[in-house]
Amino acid sequence: MSTTLHSPYHLARSFASLDHLSGGRAGWNVVTSHDDHEAQNWGLDRLPDKKTRYDHADEVLEACSQLWETWDEDAVKVNRESGVFADPNAVHYRSYAGSSVWTRGGLTTPHSPQGRPVLMQAGASPRGLEFAARWAEVVFTIQSEPATMREFYGDLKERVRSVGRDPQHCLVFPSIEVLVGETEREAQEQAELLDSFRPDTGLDMVAIITGTDVSRLPLDTPFDQVPLGPDGPASQGFYDNLLGTSGSGRVRTLGEAANIMATNSQSPRLIGTADIIADQLQEQLESGCCDGFIITFALLPGDLIQFVERVVPELQKRGIYREEYAGSTFRENLQS
Ligand SMILES: Cc1cc2nc3c(=O)[nH]c(=O)nc-3n(C[C@H](O)[C@H](O)[C@H](O)COP(=O)(O)O)c2cc1C
């Protein structure tokens, strides 16, 4: 949910409720929004610039952190005989005043199993990384090459350390798309089918990422010459991933970028049998440039079922995928 479009009281209360309802399995992908169309859904003409959005997001999270501390963990007594619902000494006013955020607590929702949701983040601009280093427990990233993955991982962990946090408490999960087949041929055919989709259906997504209208540009426009919005790319992470940062570039033209977006294949793809996919996931994990993965699928629910039925048992056989949960909350399981 977006810190730009929702108030901290609403966010804190929603995630506390979700954490209660899910028994401590709530996570929040903290986004600042990056598309004016989204702003217009909420009655605004346009989004504030990126720096303003991240400054505001810092304050929203400071306010939410206060609100989540309204109730001590043991405040609720629910004693029918004495008629006491909660110990008033264990419920506190928690207010917050920043320069763009103001809220008078406390929160009406009692302390939830995790206390606060697991905070996830996917910003990749320098300001986005600064924000992630301060708050994120999971960083979600798209990196198409091992070299950029390693660089991103080292940079982020160093940023986390420099703000006084334990780098192991900020896990980095690159997103990977998996196409698994019973044979390599079957997986390849699925990839070919996806790649045959018309590139112009992905132009809208490219417009969102670059922050400009690209509909009148020829599809063979070199991607590095596609103009950007006044604030640079609307999403640095997606843009860098398409352009590539190591010189070669993932795409050369606007048409290729649109094709990637049309097939929802922003993430690097692993194509093959369960064995081949497990080999590649294991290799990346053991190379020390990530802490796990966000697995994405082009076709749902089919590809997800294939992954669960074929790849997960193979990963379990190799001892790199859990067979049961170590804890009861999302945070406990992430850290185990
Ligand atoms: C891998 C990845 C996943 C993202 N997922 C979402 C999402 O689910 N919802 C959303 O609003 N923004 C999403 N974003 C956008 C980011 O949250 C962020 O707002 C955007 O990248 C702009 O910040 P930046 O320039 O610092 O990267 C995602 C970005 C990346 C790189």
Ligand 1 centroid from CA 210, angstroms? 13
Asked if residue 136 has its Cβ within 6 Å of ligand 1, the reply is: no
Six-digit token string for 324: 């049961």
Does residue 190 have its Cβ closer than 6 Å to ligand 1? no
| Closest ligand 1 atom to Cα of 35 | 11
Q: Is 97 exposed, middle or buried (0-12, 13-18, 19+ CB in 10 A)?
A: exposed
- Buried b / exposed e over 192-202, threshold 16 CB at 10 Å, is eebeeeebeeb
CA distance 249 to 314: 33
Condensed to tens digits (0 to 9), the pLDDT of residues 56-99 reads 999 999 999 999 999 999 999 999 999 999 999 999 999 999 99
Cα(225) to ligand 1 centroid in Å equals 22
Q: Residue 54: CB within 6 Å of ligand 1? A: no
Could you tell which of 1, 205, 208, 235 is best to mutate to test the pocket of ligand 1, judged by most ligand atoms within 8 Å of the CB? 235
| Amino acid of residue 220 | D
157 lines ligand 1 (CB under 6 A): no
CA of 267 to the centre of ligand 1 (A): 13
Is 125 a pocket residue for ligand 1 (Cβ < 6 Å)?
A: yes
* pLDDT at 248 exceeding the cut of 70: no
The answer, yes or no, to whether any atom of ligand 1 lies below 6 A from the CB of 57, is no
Question: In the prediction, which pLDDT does 108 show?
Answer: 94
**Per-residue pLDDT at 206 exceeds 60:** yes
Residues 6+ apart with CB under 8 A from 77: 84, 85, 86, 87
Share of the chain above pLDDT 90, in %: 74
- Which of 6, 34, 172 for a ligand 1 pocket mutation test, highest count of atoms within 8 Å of Cβ? 34
- Using a 6 Å cutoff on CB, does residue 175 contact ligand 1? yes
Q: Is 266 in the pocket of ligand 1 (CB under 6 A)?
A: no
- Bigger pLDDT: 49 or 148? 49
Residue nearest to atom 22 of ligand 1 (CA): 235
Confidence of residue 193 (pLDDT cuts 50, 70, 90): confident
Residue 70 alpha carbon to ligand 1 centre in Å: 30
pLDDT score of 59: 98
pLDDT-derived band at 151 (thresholds 50, 70, 90) equals very high
Could you tell me if the CB of 5 is within 6 A of ligand 1? no
pLDDT of residue 247: 43
Residue 140 Cβ < 6 Å to ligand 1: yes
Q: Is pLDDT larger for residue 311 or for residue 211?
A: 311
Ligand 1, residue 31: give the atom nearest the CA.
Answer: 17
Q: Of ligand 1's atoms, which has the minimum distance to the CA of residue 38? A: 11
**DSSP letters along 60-101, please?**
HHHHHHHHTTSB-TT-EEEETTTTEEE-GGGB----EE-SS-
pLDDT tens-digit readout, 47-64: 999 999 999 999 999 999
Q: Give the model's pLDDT for residue 241.
A: 82
Q: Which numbered atom of ligand 1 lies nearest the CA of 124?
A: 27
pLDDT at 246 over 60: no
Task: Please name the residues in contact with 154: beta carbons below 8 A apart, sequence gap of 6 or more.
Answer: none
The average confidence (pLDDT) of the chain is 92
Q: What is the mean pLDDT of residues 255-268?
A: 80
Confidence of residue 265 (pLDDT cuts 50, 70, 90): low
CB of 31 sitting under 6 A from ligand 1: yes
Give yes or no for residue 211 CB within 6 A of ligand 1: no
Task: Give this prediction's pTM.
Answer: 0.89
3 CB under 6 A from ligand 1?
A: no
Among the listed ranges 97-111, 167-181, 203-217, which one has the minimum average pLDDT value?
Answer: 203-217
